[in-house]
Amino acid sequence: MLKLILNLFVFIFSVVFAKFSGQKLYQVYQGVNVEKYQGKNFILEGKIFYNNEISNTSWIVLTTVPMNNKGKVMKDPVYTPDAGMYYKKGEWSSYEMKGKIDKKAMGLVIGVAVAGTGSYYLDDFKLFVLDGKDKIEIPVKNGGFEDVSLMPWQSHAMEKGSQMSISDAKPFSGKQSLLIDNSAADVKPSLGNNKEVGKFMDVNGVKLYYEVYGQGEPLLLIHGNNSSMASFDNQLDVLTKKYQVIALDSRGQGNSTSNDVKLTYELMADDVNVFLDQLNLKDVNVLGWSDGGNIALILGMEHPEKVKKMAIMGAVLYNNKTSVDPEINKILNQQVAEMKANGVSENDMNYRLKILLLNEPNINPDSLQKITAPTLVMAGEHDVMPEKHTKLIADKIPKGKMLIFKGGDHEMPSNNPEVFNKAVLDFFEGF
């Protein structure tokens, strides 16, 4: 009976994973019974060796999702917060995920999620429960991949050309490890990974990657921190029916390159300004999410002639306890500390992007009066910033309008795209 339930766990997990990941991910996982440890803290460990360098479009992370005694998903999958936090070039990287087992969880599905076309060796997967001062190891079947059979590990969303096999070429310990090789994967073109339409433009010493779809008035998409244009995958089809959608990867993110110039939102807004100049575009509609909203605000302030209408989701003017949930900054500071402890360079883009989040933006609310474009200022009811901060932004913009999504959070564009997309289209077409 237990085996049947765990098999049900992993089946449902594959469906949920695909729904909530926000992009195409290849998963390897197994179900572990944790009924005796409900409410306890856990640590999931795994050794990973990158055969290719990590990038914004090619990475691997640990993941978990709890299941109840009926085999139903209890919460969304949780991922290692940042693949780059543990990555060591040319070495085995020690990945770790900490969490708490739900008080009603019977099973915990553990594994990895892989994005892009990289190649990896995996070894020594271990799961521990913290019980007072005791660190109890919960058996992970074939966690060291010493068995010639891959069971009980399962995979989901494997692309044609991807390979997963037991290998004796590079073990971390023992004689074998798991090889996941996506280097020959036949990845279908998607937003952010479409060679047929993707182009690069030289802007301010870096190469910005962009893709253009559809016809009509231009609509520029600006994504959030440590993300890419792919985050707007749930918006593309709807928007291209009425607009010429221009999707852009900000410097050092997605497929765009970076340099050593200090990262600021002003710099990235200037990147957008120069980018639009080179496309000979003015009066552009802009949709910005999170950091993309911050960049859009500065663009609208400094270059009002560039923006016709603007919709922003989850933007902030500055980072303090009145504008950002203190828990977010606590987590960010912990991540920065872990990256330093793991020897991550301060020039690493993931590190620089976290520092950016902690120290910026620094926008004077009164400066928003320079924005001439009608602006829809959106946030979720349970967003990372309080509603009063979103209201401050909307009130300071001469033609600003606030919209709070009831029950929504910072991930509204991906978690509830139907409602989000309608709000954006209604604004662009009706204001």
In this structure, what are the phi and psi dihedrals at residue 402, rounded to the nearest 5 degrees?
Answer: -100, 145
The pLDDT value given to residue 431: 66
- Any bridge partners for residue 210, and if so which? 199, 248
For 243-273, letters b (16+ CB in 10 Å) and e give bbbbbbbbbbbbbbbbeeeebebbbbbbbbb
The pTM score is: 0.82
The pLDDT value given to residue 57: 77
Cα separation of 85 and 96, whole Å? 10
The pLDDT value given to residue 82: 79
The pLDDT value given to residue 24: 61
Q: How many CB atoms lie within 10 A of CB 152?
A: 17
Q: How many CB atoms lie within 10 A of CB 386?
A: 15
Cα separation of 260 and 404, whole Å? 38
DSSP-derived letter for residue 293 is H
Number of helices (H) and strands (E) in the chain: give both, helices first: 9, 19
The pLDDT value given to residue 52: 92
Tens of pLDDT, residues 39-65: 999 999 999 999 998 887 789 999 999
Tens of pLDDT, residues 266-305: 999 999 999 999 999 999 999 999 999 999 999 999 999 9
Instruction: Report the chain's terminal Cα–Cα distance, integer Å.
Output: 59
Cβ–Cβ < 8 Å for 212, 336: no
Cβ–Cβ < 8 Å for 82, 350: yes
Cβ–Cβ < 8 Å for 142, 152: yes
Instruction: Enumerate domains of the chain plus CATH numbers.
Output: 2-181 (2.60.120), 199-430 (3.40.50.1820)
* SS3 label, residue 324: coil
Distances (CA, A) of 237 to 12, 51, 408: 27, 35, 22
Burial class (CB in 10 A: 0-12, 13-18, 19+), 122: buried
In single-letter form, the type of residue at position 240 comes to: T
Place of tokens 């068995």: 147
The pLDDT value given to residue 303: 98
Q: How many CB atoms lie within 10 A of CB 26?
A: 22
* pLDDT tens for each residue of the chain, 431 residues long: 444 444 434 333 333 333 333 446 788 999 999 999 999 999 999 999 999 988 877 899 999 999 888 778 888 888 887 788 889 889 999 999 999 999 999 999 999 999 888 999 999 999 999 998 899 999 999 999 999 899 899 988 777 888 999 999 999 999 999 999 998 877 778 899 898 999 999 999 999 999 999 999 999 999 999 899 999 999 999 999 999 999 999 999 999 999 999 999 999 999 999 999 999 999 999 999 999 999 999 999 999 999 999 999 999 999 999 999 999 999 899 989 988 988 888 999 989 999 999 999 999 999 999 999 999 999 999 999 999 999 999 999 999 999 999 999 999 999 999 999 999 999 999 86
Tell me which residue of 354, 415, 335 sits closest to 80, measured CA to CA.
335
The pLDDT value given to residue 189: 85
Cβ–Cβ < 8 Å for 101, 42: yes
For the four alpha carbons of 47, 51, 53 and 59, in that order, the dihedral sign comes to negative
Cβ–Cβ < 8 Å for 37, 108: no
The pLDDT value given to residue 116: 84
